[in-house]
Structure 1
Amino acid sequence: MTYSTELRNAKLDANSTVIGNAGKLEIYAGTDSAGTTGPEGTLLATFTLGSPFAPAASGGVQSPTLPAATTGVATGTAGWARVTKADGSTTVMDLTVGTSGAQINLSSLSITTGGAVSITAWSITAADA
């Protein structure tokens, strides 16, 4: 099945509606669980997301507003990320992390307690282009 760009953009724009204002982005060590069940791995850092979450998608790609840097709450190697609603418990999506070529690119995958953690790039591409 292939979707038009207009439909892919609309599906991505729904992320902003579901996540709402001031959602959370949690960075975890370890490997993502299959699906959006309980988190696996150690929570390394939490970001508060923008209000709104992202501007309108374009070309089947959504580029969320980059949140301000945050501070590590544990030491470890970033392995994956989870977006929740502002309540911090309603999971919306899980994402890949890296320093380049991932859905979320961090300045470093090595996170330390009390150290600065920042996102350098973030994009979500709709499937079925």
Structure 2
Amino acid sequence: MGTFASASRTTGANAARDAAINAVAATLNNGTVRIYSGTAPTNADAALSSNTLLAQATLGATAFGAASSGVVTANSITADSSADATGTPTFFRLLASNGTTVVYQGTAGASGQELNLSGLSGGQIVAGGSVSISSLTMTQTASYA
């Protein structure tokens, strides 16, 4: 069995990570961002449990830019002009354009999360208020380094 040189191995890992996350990102074109409060389920396949849907936003026709080192960053996201409920955002789910297939789940908040929101009131989304997403990233972790 052969081995990789250190630089080649890293490049190969990044290329594979980029390809994987780009494929996932493509399934989210014209998809939906749903923002919830409460304890996040174990993973994106697990059912919601006592979580409150706070807001929904719409991803663009090309939802994400091209990956770099296994990370994709969302393009412009249409804000929710009237939030569904008041609460502290803790996680989000990304749904494919069919509105039912959950593709990704991550952390949400005012800053330092995968999904960062602007215009929160005391850290909360307020029912009927506008909800804007300032940034959204997805990361494909490396299988080896």
Instruction: Kindly tell me the number of residue pairs found equivalent between the two proteins.
Output: 128
Separation in 2, partners of 1:8, 1:91: 20
Structure 1 stretches of 4+ moved >4 Å: none
Normalising by structure 1, report the TM-score.
0.89
Q: What is the CA–CA distance in structure 1 between the aligned matches of 2:136 and 2:107, rounded to whole Å?
A: 10
Over alpha carbons, which structure has the higher Rg?
Answer: 2
Structure 2, gaps ≥5 residues long: 1-9
1:31-84 CA distance string (max 9 Å, x none): 111122222300000111111121211232100113122121111111100001
* SS state at 1:13 partner: helix
Percent identical across equivalent pairs?
A: 36
Matched, 1:56 2:66: yes
Query: Which residue does 1:43 correspond to in 2?
Result: 53
8 Å CA contact retained: 2:58, 2:79:
no
Residue 13 (str. 1) matches residue 49 (str. 2): no
Deviation (angstroms), 1:120: 1.0
Partner residue of 1:87 out of 98, 115, 122: 98
Q: Distance in 1 between matches of 2:139 and 2:52?
A: 27
- The answer to whether the 8 A contact 1:66-1:122 is kept is no
Larger fraction in strand: 1
How far apart are the structure 2 equivalents of 1:78 and 1:66? 20
Q: Does 1:66 align with 2:76?
A: yes
1:118 alignment counterpart = 132
TM-score normalised by the chain length of structure 2: 0.80
CA distance in 2, matches of 1:28, 1:103: 14
Q: Match of 1:15, as an amino acid?
A: V
The residue type paired with residue 65 of structure 1 is N
1:100 and 1:112 map into 2 onto residues whose CA distance is 17
For 1:66 and 1:30, the matched residues in 2 are separated by: 26
